[in-house]
Structures are given as structure tokens and as C-alpha cells.
Structure 1
Amino acid sequence: MEQLLHYCWKHRLFPLQQLKTTNGQDVEVIDPGLHNRNAGPDFFNAKVKIDGTLWVGNVEIHDKSSDWYLHGHEKDDHYNNVVLHVTGKADTEVKTANGDVLPQLEMEVPETVERHYQELLQEDQYPPCYRIIPQLSRLTVHSWMSALQTERLEQKTEKIRQRVAIANGSWEQAYFVTLARSFGFSINSEAFEQWALHVPLHDVDHHRDDLFQIEAIFMGQAGMLNTDDMPQRHRKQAEEDEYFQRLRHEYLYLAHKFSLEPISGQRWRFLRLRPQNFPTIRISQLANLYYHRRTGLSQLVDCKTLKEVQQLFDTEATPYWETHYTFGTESKKAEKRLSKDSVTVLTINTVVPMLFAYGRHKEDDRLCDRAFDFLEELKAEDNHIVRMWKQCGLDVENAGDSQALIQLKNEYCDRKDCLRCRFGYEYLRNV
């Protein structure tokens, strides 16, 4: 109930009659203030008239007045600037740490708002606000989608910043980790990120002109040359494979030279993956990209168009993998080239957030704008989340829209955080 009181105060959903304090003073809300989601009073810098006198300060909201003491606010100096206590039920007088008795406003949640909120919480269909979607104006949808798109990019930017910090300030290393994570295509993304953190690029650079040595380090650091981590049925096949033996021999030499420690090969998932997505194939493709000097941040920043991005990531696995998906098991010969759809996924999950994050870091608005331009040019993703919103009547025109809807589901719908959602606001107000 307290969440609804916050919501009604923030959006000024008050009863039609004159607001009054518990001791009969008239209350006029000039500005409800800035909603604070951190420690301290619930709303900062509110402006309210109480009995004709303008007060500027903070507002605290509780289900019951006695919650003021339950939360220890009477001992906390941060609450001395509260000018009004809003409550669902005024069951006691409240005082600040400096001894002031606070005026209290007993506020009811409008019946329609409470009923609509319960509908959202209890609705079996997904998303619960599906009935309001066809009624929304294009402006409402567009503004919320734009905000969600930016919010998602901000979250990805923060993760990139964390990788930069782990890499001791190296944006190059952070970019390689971000790119590698995207090569995991969800199923193996965590394993790829951990693998990339264990690839010492400054050491690999010493052998940058030798594709075989690059692949040996990449496969070795992934734990894929350690037969102890392999299932029994694959171990014998790998040990009898000439290319595997050559890679392992080379890796053992390089591991000793650079004091390398691999991750566990048991991290990788192969089940329920199409063979083209096997981590062996993806790592070989990354080795080829690295060999051709296409994994550097400067090369990415130089891409002004989507066509240039596609050319940058135009890569294939090394020749051995044309007839293999795993070590020692032959398959029908086929070129293992990164598909256009895969490049699109890389663009959405690596190129766009990296340009946006690096643009923020360099204070270069051109890079940030380019990130948004790429999202608008790319076709929308086709997944169950996007299809769900399409069925509700939302137009999904490009990758920017699909990224916004993924953000909406993950951060609002799944958490039942309808009170922070603009679609939820429209539902509570208009349904």
C-alpha cells in the first residue's frame, strides 16, 4: 500500500475535495518534490502550502504514522527537514529528532487506482497491461520506448565501465571481453567473458602474425586442450587427432613461456546448441578476427556505417574446422563463416553499447549518436519478447524498439514494477 501512496503523491492523484491535515489545516500541493529511491526522506524539495504558509522541504510517506517510529526517523537528523508527513492512517503524532511535531496528511488511494493496480498484479496474461496498449498515443509509446532504449544502453555502459576497471583502465581489453561475451550468444556468454579475462592480449601480441599460435593460446586458455575436462567419449578421439596434438603441444610451450593459467573446459556448454554455435567454432572465428587485426577498439570506432561493421566482422573458422565441430570428430565439409544474423547480434550487443560507452568516456557525442543510428537502421530482433509485444498491438520497427521492449520486460514486467512504467501509469489512470 505504501508504494501506491508514493505513486498517488508523485502523480498528484488526490481526492477532489480540499486536502487537510489531521488537525484541520488546509493543504495545497504546489510541487510533490523529487522522488528519492535511496536512503532518506521519500520526496526531496517539495513545495506545499499549509494553512496559507508556503513550506519548502521534504515529504515522508508511510502506511501508518507509527511507522515513523518503527523506522527510527525520530532519531535521524536527515528527517529534520521534513515539512509534511503523508500517511494512509494517522494513528499517532510524529516528532523529528529536533523535537518538532510534524503536520500530517491522511491520504486515501483512489478506489479505481487500487483496483487497477490489483488487476495488474493478478493478471494471468502477459504482459498484464495488454488491454491498454491499443489505446496509447503514438507520442506516449515513442517517448517511453526512447527512454527504455537509453536506459538499456546506460546499463550496458555501466557493465563496460566495470570491465574497464577490471582491466586496469584498458578500454582495448574491455572491448575484447565485451566482444567475446557476445560470441557466446547467451548460452555461453558467461564462459566467454571469463575466458576473455584470461587471455593476456599483451602476450598474444608477440605472436600476432601466426594464426596457429593465436588459436593455440585461445583454445588452450579456454581449457579445450585439457583432456581431463573432456567427457570420456570425446577424450580418446581428441587424443588421436593430429591437429589437437599440435595445438596442445604449442600451447604447453606458450603457457610455460607466459605463465598462462586456463579456465576449466567444463564451463562450456554444447548441448542444445546448433553446431555452428559450438564454442570451438566461435573461438576459432575470434582467433581469425584477432589475426586479421579486427578486434581493436580503434577499428570499431573507424566504422561509420553498418556496412563497414559487417566487413569488420566478416570472418570464418580456421581450415581444420571446415570438417570438424569438435576435436577428433569429422563432419561434412562446410565453411564456418559468421552469418549475417550473427553479425547483427554482435552489432546490437557489442558495437552499439561500446560506441555509446566510449563516446560517453571521450565526451564525443558523435559516437553516441552513431550508436543510436545503428539501432534505428537495424531490423528488429525476432524473439519471444518482441513477438509478445507485437501481439499486444505495439509496432516494432527496428532494433532500437526491440531493445526497448526487452528492457521493459526484464526490468519492469518481470519485477511487477508497474508503478514505474509509463504503460502501467496509463493503465492505472485510464483503463
Structure 2
Amino acid sequence: MNEDFLHYVWKYQLCSIHNLKTTSKEEVAILKVGTHNNNSGPDFLNAQLKIDDQLWVGNVEIHLKSSDWYAHHHEIDENYDAVILHVVWEDDATVYMKNNKPLPVLVLKDFVLTSALNNYRNLFSTKQNWIPCEKEIGAVDNFTIENWKERLFFERLERKSIEMNRILVDNQNDFEAVLFQLLAKNFGLKVNGDVFFSLAISFDFSILRKVRFDEYQLAALLFGQAGFLEEPTEGEYHQKLKTTYSYLQHKYNLESISKVQFSFFRMRPPNFPTIRIAQLVALYHIHQNLFSKMMKIETLNDFYKLFEIDIHPFWKNHYTFDTTSKVSPKKLTKPFVDLLLINTIIPLKFLYQKNRGEVNENEFLDILQKIKSEKNSIISKFDDIGLEAINAYESQALLELKNNYCAKKRCLQCAIGIKLVRK
């Protein structure tokens, strides 16, 4: 048993409300359960109750045991002076108010509906299910699930935007700089994401603004900061970049990171860090105001067009500076752009619109509903239990469901869990 369930029972009155009595045999009538308080202080504020025909207006505090009142030191906290009813699962101690009179106590286990209790115990049993409701989720109606998916999707966007806002503050509210740093991290994918982010923050973005008009200077900046120009390598292109980087390093007092942090091991050549950096160079050389352009784009096809870039000819027959390879264009693929949209562009655009007070929710839904669902172990497992994701909007919602509700057993804050407990 946990307090969340007691909060839930009180909030939705899943008890024999016509026969409620305190431990002193006083009849209790719930006129208003009060406002659920998620901050410090009593659990439900401004409740209205009749206790033996006496109208009371005040707060309700809920505990597993009556003695928790003293364990939590409520007796010395004036925020609890206006509590009019103590709702508990087990009454193991008498709680006295400031006037030395006992605080009225309602023992909830004597009145909770058997169906709600059984459903709760079944949901929170110790059985090792992948998610608590995997055996029962098929009984939940489609309307509830679809509405909950939309709520989950925007919760995920909101959470990502909060994380991005911290980076925005670090960059003095420069959205262009934040976009570059987050795109760089995404270009590194999971394996090299952290080191690509380290690369992006290893110099002030104002330097990139100054050099991006010159493709060689931009390439020298990124490859040089990544440490790929330190070792002697034959080849005119490498030498030109190295000379250019030496000039930039002296001019801007730059300090590179070590290239040994970048992983090539067991990676497909198109995902080599050198290729991803070359693509990042091409993107920022071609689009001088990338963030502004992205904020104006509203369709998936227009985003695909934005990322149709050609890398420097050197990289069309190279994957590294050292060896040549078969000629290939090495363009950004649509699935890769999809990842950029899901992980960086859409959340950052959401943050930008939110800061301006003009969030266009339909725009985000329209784009992600046109992108194929992500493929990973979580989405596959949901598919196995009958909850299929047919697009990125739904896969993002299911990832939020698993990571922030199921894994934390927040079933009583989940629309699906609520439906199952109340059935």
C-alpha cells in the first residue's frame, strides 16, 4: 500500500461515501474533496465536509499511518493547523490539534471499494511484468489511449524543452548557438553524441558566425577543434585545413579536444565522425541563418529540402583523411533527418514558440505523424502487447509512457492505470 492510492481513493471518492464514519463514530459527508496539493503542505486544500452535521471548511491530510503525522513533524508546522480530517489506512496513534482535542480520523481501509482495492493490488503486485498493466492494457478503450498518447507527446516535448532551456540560458538566449550545439550532438548519434557536443561547445559560436562564409575556414575550425588536423597526413586538402586552423587557433586562442574521444569502432562508414563533421560543415556553410529558416518551415518535405546538401568533393571518395574509397555522394538521408527533427528541431521549435507565447501544436503533430515510428526495444515490446506505434508521434508518446510512468510505477497518474483501477 502507498499514499498515492489513498490520495486517488479520496480524490475520486472510490469508497462507500454514504457510510463514512470517523474512528469516534461521527458521520462524515464529503461535500468537496478539496484541491489536490502537489506542493508542500496538506494533501488536499479547501475541502468541505460535514462531520455530525457540523460544516467544516479546511484541509485534509492523508497518511498510511496516523503516527506519520508526528514522524513528519506536522504538529509544529502551522501549515497543518487548518486540517479538519486525517485520512489514514491504519490508525495507530491519536493526533491532537493545538486546542488539545483529537483530530478526526477516517480509516480508509474500512470503506474503500473492494473492486478498486483489488484492481490496485493486481496492478501493483510483485509479478515481474515488463510494465504493470501489460496483461490488462487490452481492456482499455481506444479513446482513452489516444487522448493519453497526445498528452504524453506534449509532456515529452515540454520536458525536452526544459532541458534545452538550460542550454539556452548558458548561451545568453542565443537560439542559433543552441541549435548548432544540439544538432552537433545529434550528428554524433548515440556513440559519439557527447563528444560532438563537447566539440560544439569548445569554441564560442560567434567564431563560427564569422568563418562560415568561407568553407575552408569553417572546415578547419570544426576538424581542427576535433583534433583531426594534429597528426601529419599527406594530402593537399588536409594540409590546407591544417594551415588555416593554425591561423584560426592563434587568432581566437582556440584549444582543441582530442580526436581519440571519437569512436570509429563497429560503425558504418557513413556514420564515421569525419563524415558527420563534413556534413555539418556543408550545412552551416550553405545556410547562413539556419535557425531562422527552420522556424519558418512548417512541412516535412520542406525540412527534407533544407537538408539536401553536398559535402566538399574531397569527402566523396574518402571516409577519413588517410585513405581513399569508392566515390559516393554521402548525402544526409531522410531517416537521419527524421532523427534530427524528433530529437532537436521539433523540441527546440516548441521552446521557441512557447517563449513567444504562440505554440502551434498541430504543426508538430502533422510533421511527426508523417515520420515513421522509431525502432527500438521499447517500441517493439509495446507492439508485442498490442500497443503499436505507426509513426514518430506515437513512438515518442510510448517512450514517455514507459520511461516516466511505467518504469516509475506512476500508474495512478497515468490515464491507462486510472482506467484499470476504476473499472
* Length-normalised TM-score, structure 1: 0.89
**Offset at 1:226?**
4.3
Structure 2 Cα separation of the partners of residues 248 and 390 of structure 1: 51
The amino acid across from 1:198 in the alignment is S
TM-superposed deviation, 1:178? 2.4
Is the aligned partner of 1:166 residue 2:138? no
- Relative distance call for 1:96 and 1:153 in structure 2 (3 A) is farther
Cα distance change of structure 1 residues 60 and 271 upon mapping to structure 2, 3 Å threshold: farther
SS of the residue aligned with 1:187? helix
In structure 1, give the amino acid aligned to 2:22. Answer: T
Q: 2:410 aligns with which of 391, 414, 417?
A: 417
Which of 274, 279, 284 in structure 2 is aligned with 1:280? 274
The residue number in structure 2 matching 1:309 is: 303
Supply the distance in 1 between the matched residues of 2:81 and 2:259 (Cα, whole angstroms): 58
- Counterpart residue number, 1:293: 287
In 2, the alpha carbon distance for the partners of 1:252 and 1:337 equals 29
- Does the alignment pair 1:140 with 2:141? no
Where do 1:271-420 residues align within 5 Å?
A: 271-293=265-287, 296-366=290-360, 368-420=361-413
Give, in whole Å, the separation in 1 of the partners of 2:157 and 2:374.
16
Change (3 A) 1:197 1:34: farther
Distance 2:199 2:97 in 1: 54
TM-aligned CA deviation for residue 403 of structure 1: 0.9
- Do structure 1's residue 198 and structure 2's residue 202 form an aligned pair? yes
Q: Which of the residues 153, 156, 164 maps onto 2:157?
A: 153
Aligned-partner SS, 1:188: helix
Give the superposition deviation at 1:195: 2.4
Q: What is the rounded CA distance, in whole Å, between the counterparts of 2:266 and 2:14 in structure 1?
A: 51
- Name the SS for the 1:330 alignment partner: coil
For the 8 Å contact 1:149–1:400, the answer to whether it is kept is: yes
Following superposition, the deviation at residue 18 of structure 1 comes to 0.9
Describe the shift of the 1:80–1:344 C-alpha distance in structure 2 as closer, same or farther (beyond 3 A): same
SS at match of 2:58: strand
SS at match of 1:335: coil
Matched, 1:91 2:86: no
Q: Which residue does 1:230 correspond to in 2?
A: none
Q: Is the 8 A contact 1:177 1:197 kept in 2?
A: yes
Does structure 1 conserve the Cα–Cα contact (< 8 Å) formed by 2:131 and 2:407?
A: no
Offset from partner CA, 1:282-309 (integer Å, 9 cap, x none)? 1211111100116622110121221111
The code of the aligned residue for 1:81 comes to A
Aligned residues: CA RMSD: 2.4
1:32-90 deviation line (CA, Å, top 9, x unaligned): 33333332222233333322333333221111111111111111112122221111111
The runs of 5 or more residues in structure 1 that have no matched partner are 228-237
Q: How high is the sequence identity, in percent, across the aligned residues?
A: 40
Q: 1:210 to 1:106 in 2, by over 3 A?
A: same
How far apart in 2 are the matches of 1:98 and 1:32? 25
**Partner of 1:232 in structure 2?**
none
Q: 1:64 to 1:348 in 2, by over 3 A?
A: same
In the alignment, is residue 26 of structure 1 matched against residue 7 of structure 2? no
Cα separation, 1, equivalents of 2:59 and 2:308: 57
5+ residue gaps, structure 2, are: none
TM-score by structure 2 length? 0.91
Residue 264 of structure 2 is aligned to residue 260 of structure 1: no
**What is the number of equivalent residue pairs in this alignment?**
419
Check the 8 A contact 1:184/1:191 in 2, yes or no: yes
